[in-house]
Structures are given as structure tokens and as C-alpha cells.
Amino acid sequence: MSKPAVLVCRAVFPDIVDRLREHFDVEDNPSDVVWTPAELIQRLQGKAGVFITGTQPIDTALLDACPQLKAVCSMAVGYNNVDVPACTAHGVVVSNAPDVLTETTADFGFALMMAAARRIAESEHFLRSGAWSKWSVDAFAGTDVHGATLGVLGMGRIGQAVARRGALGFGMKVIYHNRSRLDAAIEAELGARWVDKEALLRESDHLVIVVPYSAASHHLVGAAELALMKPTATLTNIARGGIVDDAALAQALRDKRIAAAGLDVFEGEPSVHPDLLTVPNVVLTPHIASASLPTRRAMAHLAVDNLIAALGFGPHAGHPPTALNPEAL
């Protein structure tokens, strides 16, 4: 009997592809070409499953054009690139990759927040430029992290892991805003207090954004919100581009409306708003918050576990462990 065919959209670790080859005829992408939607549709013809990352859009047009597709398995936790209701309507199961990247992503969010607060990137550029000629009392004096107020916008798994670092490691006072409040026991463990969005913006010394992207979170932080923040505050975004209005943020940084920012995600990435590239008080990284090698491997393995199970193989046949719409099966 011939094996079902699957597509791996981007270059991944060779042993990941080998695991898929045990069950499937695999077309992979070792040269890591970013396929256009039309190329993706063409390669998906006759494929029962697809391994994607957080960057391939999966929409109705693609689903209509690929009637044999049964499973879309992503190695990202965020799934705003996938139209899950459309997949369900087409009988296509979708999975994401939660939990395995929580701690690594929280580590990075904390690092970016600290780099912004303590002006690490800005001062490193100064040193590398050869401009360092003497010690000065206020050179690159930033803001303290320990004992400050940490504001978390979006208190899911990663938000809670950031809060835990702040509260337990740095003695920070933690406030958060989320549509739903945490259980009282978790609030007590994290020492976290729910506040409305306006209070979060006004009271945070360091605001970390960890909310999923959706139409409702588009430009959740723009000029009006930035105007509420303290001039000494920092803003860190490790969630998705588009949640922060990047043009408004660049202006606020230039005007010193807020002190500094740390950004791992951008509207329209991999393009970055040109004004962000010229303001000095922002640390910019290319969407790498989950990028420790063990975590990227764990994310890819989880997507493979899901793909194997969704197409009826392995120990969890028929029950992909982190399906978002198991009812589609």
C-alpha cells in the first residue's frame, strides 16, 4: 500500500523529516525557499498533510484548491496565520505547538525587557563604534528592573512564565490585564493583580505584551495607549507584529514619550518599519524568542507527533495531542 503524501513547508531538522518518512511520502524544502501561496497550493496537490511554521497563511482559497488535505500541523503556538473555522468546515484538522516553548519564550521576553531597561544594545553599539573615551556618571543610565512594576498584557502560559520570573526572581510587583482573570490561587502564587487596560498602561514600569494576535488585538497599543505610559517605562513585544502600532511606537521612542522598547515581532515582518531602525532606544531582534535549539526541536517534534496521529498512525492515531479543532477529524 502506498504511503500518504505530506509536505514540509520550510527546512527543519533532518531527523524530523526522517520521522515523517517512516509513515509518509515526504516532500520537504531543504533549501528553505519561502513559497508563494500559489506555489504552496501547487505543491499541496495530492498531499494529505502539511507541516507548517507560524508564517504560512492557510486560508479558504488554499483549502478549496487542496481537497485532499486532511491535516495542517504547525510548529508555532500562535495560529493567527491559519483560518481554523475554515479548516473545520473543510474537514481539516489543525494543531499548534503550545507548552514546549513557554519557558524559553519567557526567558527571551525577560532578556529583551532587561536589555531595553538597561540600554544594553544601545551602549554596545556605542562601544563598537569606537566612541567610548571616558567613564561618565550618567552614561547609558537606564531604569531598574528589580523592585519595579511589571505589567503583563495577555496572561496566558507565556505571560504567567514572565510574571513568575519578575515576581520570584526580581522582586517585581506584577499587574496584568487579560480578558479573563486568573484563578485566585494562581494570582496568589504569582503575586499578580488584575487591572484594567488603562491602569496597566499608567502603572507599569515595564510592559510586556504576550497577547495572541486577532482582529481584536490589532493595534491594541497605539499612540493613545503609549501616551498613558510613564516616560520612564519600557515596552516589550514578544507576541505578534500588528498588536503594537509600530509607527506610533517609533514616534513615542523618538519623542521620549517612553524610555525604551524591546521588539521581537513586527507589523509586516520580515520588513521592519524604517523609523524603528533609526531610533536608538529600541532593541530589535528577528522573531527569535523561541529560538533555543532544544525548544525549536521540541516544537518541530510536537508538530510531527500531531501530523502522524492526525493521519491515523503511531501511538496516538486519530488523537493528535494538541489539535485545535479535533471535531474536524
Residues at the site binding ligand 8YV, with contacts judged by CB under 6 A: 53-54, 75-78, 101, 287, 290
Q: In angstroms, what is the minimal distance from the CB of 101 to ligand 8YV?
A: 5
Q: In angstroms, what is the minimal distance from the CB of 39 to ligand 8YV?
A: 18
d(CA 93, CA 69): 9
d(CA 243, CA 103): 22
Residue 166: CA atoms inside 13 Å, Cβ hemisphere, count?
33
Closer to ligand 8YV by CB, 322 or 325: give it: 322
Q: Which three cell numbers stand for residue 158?
A: 507565556
181, 202, 219, 287: the catalytic one is 287
Whether 287 is catalytic is yes
Whether 219 is catalytic is no
Q: In angstroms, what is the minimal distance from the CB of 76 to ligand 8YV?
A: 3
Whether 240 is catalytic is yes
10, 23, 119, 240: the catalytic one is 240
Cβ-closest residue to ligand 8YV? Answer: 54
Q: In angstroms, what is the minimal distance from the CB of 129 to ligand 8YV?
A: 31
Closer to ligand 8YV by CB, 75 or 84: give it: 75
Closer to ligand 8YV by CB, 6 or 258: give it: 6
**Which spans in 49-196 are helix H?**
60-65, 84-89, 102-117, 120-128, 157-164, 170, 184-190
Long-range contacts made by residues 42-50, C-beta under 8 angstroms, separation at least 24?
43/7, 44/7, 44/69, 46/5, 47/5, 47/6, 47/7, 48/4, 48/5, 48/6, 48/24, 48/311, 49/4, 49/6, 49/7, 49/24, 49/73, 49/307, 49/310, 49/311, 50/6, 50/7, 50/8, 50/9
Closer to ligand 8YV by CB, 104 or 203: give it: 104
Active site residues: 240, 269, 287
